[in-house]
Amino acid sequence: MNEYTIVYLMFGSLIGLAVGSLFYMLGGRADKWLRRFIGSAIIATTVNVASFFMGVWNIWLIGVYPLLILGFSMGYGVDE
């Protein structure tokens, strides 16, 4: 794999992580669906696309999406 390809994949993955983190932040208290479904979909897509272009994609990586939904649905406050 060319070093330019690795750098482009890293840069694209960083953008995907930043956009996913943006939706994680936007899904604060009111719009939790943004965090749970949109943010996790963007991050899962980033992982799958980057691993595909690196040549290490496996069918089990599709399971990243439901695991991220579960992880982003967990509470972290002490209000209830």
Q: What pLDDT was estimated at residue 73?
A: 85
Residues in Cβ contact with 13 at an 8 Å cutoff, skipping those fewer than 6 apart? 46, 50
CB 35 within 8 A of CB 24: yes
- For a pLDDT cut of 90, what percent of the chain falls above it? 70
Q: What pLDDT was estimated at residue 37?
A: 94
Output the pTM of the full model: 0.86
Over residues 42-66, mean pLDDT: 95
Over residues 62-79, mean pLDDT: 83
